[in-house]
Amino acid sequence: MNLVDRDRQHIWHPYSAVGSPSPIYPVVAAEGVRLKLDDGRELIDGMSSWWCAVHGYNHPVLNEAAMQQLDKMSHVMFGGLTHPPAVELAETLVELSPWGLQKVFFVDSGSVAIEAAMKMALQTQIARGQSQRHLFLSPRGGYHGDTLDAMSVCDPITGMHALFEGVLPKQVFIERPEPAFGEHCTEQHLAQLEQVFAEQGDQLAAMILEPIVQGAGGMRFYAPEYLQAARRLCDEHGVLLIADEIATGFGRSGKLFAVEHADITPDILCVGKALTGGYLSLAAVLTTDEMANDIASGEPGVFMHGPTFMGNPLACAIAKASIDLLCANDWQQQVLQIEQGLQQGLAPAKTFTHVAEVRVLGAIGVVELTHPVDMSSVQPMFVERGVWVRPFGKLVYLMPPFVMSSGDLAQLTDALVDVVANLQIKDGVAVPLSA
């Protein structure tokens, strides 16, 4: 029995059904920006393994950091103990993050970071004598994770969690942020935001959003002025601002953190994905001294959260090495070159009748179709062309590793444009022309 058949016997893959006939490709190694399949084929990775492998794979610097830490300890509980990797990583995050974020809470994953951030906001409001503030304001089109409270602030209708809408905590939603990145934000664009704060501001614990880039909810880029308005309104109404930078943190949008496009500091900043360069799962929640002191002064006097693998030494050591490597590699120039390559390489798709829009920001390139993609038939088209691209819904997008060469990027965009060119809309779905 081959590896794929053995996989199908027991493994449940993300966003899939057991027994699904959708293709699965066995990876036996990865090097640089290439995934090596068990049949000898190599694929240029356009996804950075869901946006986290910014340095590519099997990087000697990160390998060395992992080996050095393994020789000391791979894990120790964080309750009552500390260790150099966690302290050094926290100091680095505070140094690089927007001014005013001084406290770091480590968690296991992005979804858990959102859960912790929401609990942190609620506990802060309770400590401030504002227990009536129990709701969260979230723009539609957002995605914040798959755990229960994280799902509650994702789009409740069009999002991937609509099935659970009836049992999730009820939050407050507004329309998607407008206008698009690069356009001027007018009073009309902010009218609903102003209205919600005026009518329900005293019930809101926090506003949560993905700064500048709405990720898995639609890969949309919006104007920094909207983010500035959100910061202003939160301040005016005593509402905390949570910036979900799990996808955008560490350079993906062209800034180290996407909030820098708007020159604002959130009350809570969540980072993950690229934090360890894709080596291990780790995320962090950064907040202010003021919030930490408020929680300490209230009941029960501690923040009520503590994952078993919090502050894992191995993950923290790799994360510190990954951030140091990012800064040493002149990531701004890397991202700029990728942005230029994406703009040039994806431009031909703008002429296709079944393409609604092509947009690029930083190291993110998006081709939005007029209809959703049939994954089972379209995914193999990319593999046949030697690239790994994983569309979802109407979106065929790229988030390549920052270390990708211009030649590999051109091959990647050429393959994407070729696949999209060879699609047709049939029965409301984008399928191969041969279908």
Q: Which residues are catalytic?
A: 15, 143, 244, 273
Give the separation between CA 126 and CA 351, rounded to whole angstroms: 54
**Bond before 300 cis per omega within 30 degrees:** yes
Rg of the chain over all Cα atoms, to the nearest angstrom: 22
326 Cβ contact partners less than 8 Å away, ≥ 6 residues apart = 54, 55, 250, 251, 402
Distance (Å) of CA 346 to CA 292, 360, 398, 423: 45, 9, 10, 16
Q: Which two tokens stand for residue 278?
A: 């894709």
Q: Which two tokens stand for residue 88?
A: 């050094």
Handedness of CA 49, 14, 311, 211 (dihedral sign): positive
* Diameter of the chain measured on Cα atoms: 66
CB 408 within 8 A of CB 33: yes
398 Cβ contact partners less than 8 Å away, ≥ 6 residues apart = 46, 47, 342, 346, 364, 365, 366, 389, 412, 413, 416
Give the separation between CA 93 and CA 96, rounded to whole angstroms: 5
Give the separation between CA 115 and CA 283, rounded to whole angstroms: 12
Could you report how far apart the first and last alpha carbons of the chain are, in Å? 30
Q: In this structure, what are the phi and psi dihedrals at residue 387, rounded to the nearest 5 degrees?
A: -135, 155
235 Cβ contact partners less than 8 Å away, ≥ 6 residues apart = none
- DSSP lists the bridge partners of residue 398 as 365
Give the separation between CA 316 and CA 313, rounded to whole angstroms: 5
For 126-165, strand residue ranges (E) read 135-139
Give the separation between CA 139 and CA 272, rounded to whole angstroms: 21
